[in-house]
Structure 1
């Protein structure tokens, strides 16, 4: 971990912490309003410091983190997880939401039975482009 006293850009830190696969995805999330730092919508070049609070929204998942360390280089997952601490309330809420999705089937309505011969033929034509 690079202990930089001045801090590091938010998009670089999100990438280094492995919260986003690429720096450009982190930048798009910041510009799209999916990231808040200390309850303020930041810009990608905002400097992140230790003890900043970051709120991340990815799809239906919401996380609240505290910056524990600063790094501008992407390392192994264990090193990346040491860069932040998720709040207990955030962790509990995510686990509860995950369990609810699992129990309710996440809105997936299962068909009453397997498709018959005619339905399979229609599905095959649909998948293959109609020929």
Structure 2
């Protein structure tokens, strides 16, 4: 699954266009490599997202094409959150 779609479906980022902009600006790492919006995401990948002054690391648990709001949090596990 593409990174921008995963971020939108899992509701880590609200809109796919915003997820594309964030990833193409170099603020997202997948397995410690800078990721573009088209990067393929697999289960057990580690995604690190920089939100302003906060860095959130998550582990991909499952890939779903669409989810309900309640089920979106089952797609990932937050590993760490740190402030810059």
Relative to the length of structure 1, the TM-score reads 0.60
In structure 2, what is the Cα distance between the partners aligned to 1:61 and 1:78?
24
Which ranges of structure 1 fall in alignment gaps of 5 or more residues?
A: 1-7, 98-131
In structure 2, what is the Cα distance between the partners aligned to 1:72 and 1:46?
16
In structure 1, what is the Cα distance between the partners aligned to 2:50 and 2:78?
13
Question: Which of the pair is proportionally richer in helix?
Answer: 1
Larger Rg: 1 or 2? Answer: 1
Q: Shift of the alpha carbon at 1:59?
A: 1.1
The 5-angstrom pairing of residues 98-113 of structure 1 reads: none
Which ranges of structure 2 fall in alignment gaps of 5 or more residues?
A: none
Of 50, 59, 64 in structure 2, the residue corresponding to residue 57 of structure 1 is 50
CA RMSD of aligned residues (A): 1.5
Relative to the length of structure 2, the TM-score reads 0.91
Question: Which of the pair is proportionally richer in strand?
Answer: 2
Aligned residue pair count: 84
Q: Shift of the alpha carbon at 1:43?
A: 1.6
Which structure has more relative contact order (CA 8 Å, sep 6+)? It is: 2
Of 7, 12, 28 in structure 2, the residue corresponding to residue 14 of structure 1 is 7
Moved over 3 A (4+): none
Aligned to 2:33, the other structure's residue is in SS state coil
